[in-house]
Structure 1
Amino acid sequence: MDSRLFTLPLPGGQERWRRWPRPHGAALALALSEVAAGREQPLLVLTADARSAQQLQADLQLLAPADLPVILIPDWETLPYDHFPPHPEIIAERIAALIELPRRQRSILIAPVAVALQRLAPRSYLLGRSLWLKVGEKLDLEAQRLLLEAAGYRHATQVLEPGDVAVRGGLLDLYPIGAETPYRIELFDDEVESIRPFDPETQRSEGSVGEVRLLPAREFPFDEEALKSVRERIRERFDIDIRRSPFYQDLKNGIAPAGIEYYLPLFFEQTETLYDYLPADTLLAVVGDVWAGASDFLADAGERYEQRAHDIDRPVLPVAELYLGVEEARQQVNGFARLLIEGNEGAPTEAAPELPLFVRNVEPGRALRDFIAGHPGALLIAADSPGRREALLETLARHDLRAAMIDDWATFVRQRPRLAVTSAALSDGFQLPDAQITVLTERQLYGERAAQSRRRSEGSRDPASIIRELGELA
């Protein structure tokens, strides 16, 4: 039995692209998840900005099937030419995502426009610097330490975050890029005797594993040979007094200057792009006006370049060396089968109704009760967090509205309760008229108050967005 809720057309045969009306609210994530779940190949979704990519990922946490991988390829969450590095966890997330792309199968990949434009390390570098450590294997501890440093790992007295490594006697502590926990490798003579995960806060190890995968800690090499080549390229290209440049001296001393990521092309003979990493049969979904977002991003990068282009102590690379132009990116996208998704007109969805719980001089919950009485199908209300879900259940109960508690979308569709509540920070509600399903968010029940609460919450969770917005104001 076909359980799909959407029957939107897909490109096929000689048709390389199809246009979709954009489903309302979080229904976009539902439609994309149904497409991806029915394919053996990956679906890459391009969004106009990082916030849209993050919100789509959040929507998919509820609406995508549990067995469908959803991978966000994040941007660095720094502004072009910034003099501070991306967070180690973001670097780890990017490398782990990129290194798996060439062999990805059934999955949803999400990339904001900055990633869609960015010139990246060649696949050969990331794949060539990936290795395994296994119990029972021979291991030269000093040689392994040098290999890890060449791959960008940082020497630390105590391993606390991704990319840290520490050697003490016959112990090698390291926090592999892309791993959820650091590992303690214990040697007996020159053989790996055990590999144990440990808590970075307590430094206590628990359990054991048979092997661990090590990914490079940076998106570029940082051994002496690579640094020598970079310094030569800097001297050839820029009129720089190397004795007075702290940036150059850091490179000479093997120190990664803050913001070194924006010199990535100097580490390679040739760069690649996101599209080089993708399997040829990947389906692309271009959501909204991605190309306007690309133009805005490149214009901002150009302004920041002009502000820094005359710094003789720290010269910067032109925008075109770091990013594709809009037309170059379009040509890359046009090499794939693709969906173009924008505008709601003709969508098989409707906007969610506004059903405020509290209206002056109106019985509390009246609008919601009236809607349920006339609604022939299933209604799901998504609260932004587990705590808010519990508070919402109590509020509904006080107004004689009994709701089931649902943990996942598949259960909701199967059981089709008259009224249910779940925990999911959805972008917005929607209606599926043909399936007689309505999904509400707190915004439909609490209006602007819910929107303000979410903005405060998002601000507290995402300081990089605050920095980005301040930079835009400047």
Structure 2
Amino acid sequence: MIASEPDGRLSAWLIERATEAGAAGVVYVSRSEARAGRIALAVRALEPGLEALLLPAWDCLPYDRASPSRAVMGTRMAMLARLSRPAAGPRLLVASVEALGQYLPPVEASAGLTLRSGDPFDEDTISRRLAQLGYLFDDRVDEPGEVALHGAVLDVFPPGDGSLPCRVEYAEGRVRAMRRYDPLTQRSAEDAAELLLPPPPRPFYPMTRRRSTGRGWSMPCRSCTSG
């Protein structure tokens, strides 16, 4: 199968290869970020039971003064956290050349917190762990990486592509229910049996430092690619 194949045919071929590979997984490297997104979307539509992961590239240019957005960095951390866990079935990772060439922290840095319905729940212990991971406590959860405590209810917004905040209800030292909800309307969207909370993204600037060379300023960026 060559890169010039139509997206639909290539997606079907990748589904076959991923199914054959099983939990070992398959990695597909796309020639562009746009095509990586189309392939991941097509695979999810054609085979919903297959775990299709999309690793996005930074949404800033190499040597840019701006950091990649929290949404993109959060999605990359969430993908790293999912890849660090054993696959339950066939798995496909889709990424562009740019996305694979850009900095990712060690796998250990993606170790987060997992909550399941019925699990023990100690408010002080959970709060300390979320603070250690880098979650910000607020009165209301609006953005990824925020958390709020209201009585016996924990609202938390995990980072990740298309993720919704989750409302965790607990009583008598155990998780009683978890529901994802719309942050704008506050209406429940769906029940959640398991909630993975990877570390939220921290500001990361492609420019590392500046040094004088006599002819101007050099700003090295070992992890940047210009693809």
Greater Rg by CA:
1
CA distance in 1, matches of 2:181, 2:127: 19
Structure 1 partner of 2:178: 195
- Kept in 1: contact 2:44–2:50 (CA 8 A): no
Deviations along 1:29-72, whole A, 9 cap, x unmatched? Answer: 3333332233223111112331231233344355x434333221
Q: Is 1:183 equivalent to 2:85 in the alignment?
A: no
Paired positions, count: 218
Structure 1 unaligned blocks of 5 or more: 1-19, 219-255, 264-304, 327-474
- Kept in 1: contact 2:68–2:205 (CA 8 A): no
Residue type at the aligned position of 1:44: V
Match of 1:113 among 71, 94, 97: 97
Structure 2 partner of 1:262: 205
Structure 2 partner of 1:37: 19
Question: What secondary structure does 1:39 align onto?
Answer: helix
User: How far 1:117 moved relative to its partner?
Assistant: 1.6
Structure 2 partner of 1:151: 133
Residue type at the aligned position of 1:261: F
Structure 2 unaligned blocks of 5 or more: none
Q: Is 1:28 equivalent to 2:10 in the alignment?
A: yes
> CA distance change for structure 1 residues 69 and 185 in 2, over 3 Å: closer, same or farther?
closer
CA RMSD of aligned residues (A): 3.6
TM-score normalised to structure 2 length: 0.74
CA distance in 1, matches of 2:5, 2:91: 22
TM-score normalised to structure 1 length: 0.39
Structure number having the greater strand percentage: 2
Structure 1 partner of 2:150: 168
> CA distance change for structure 1 residues 48 and 144 in 2, over 3 Å: closer, same or farther?
same
CA distance in 1, matches of 2:83, 2:190: 31
Residue type at the aligned position of 1:214: L
CA distance in 2, matches of 1:215, 1:157: 21
Residue type at the aligned position of 2:210: A
CA distance in 2, matches of 1:23, 1:181: 35
CA distance in 1, matches of 2:93, 2:149: 37
Structure number having the greater helix percentage: 1
- Kept in 2: contact 1:135–1:210 (CA 8 A): no
| Matching of residues 299-448 of structure 1 within 5 Å | 309=210, 318-320=220-222, 322-323=223-224
Residue type at the aligned position of 1:107: R
Percent identical pairs in the alignment equals 25
> CA distance change for structure 1 residues 122 and 31 in 2, over 3 Å: closer, same or farther?
same
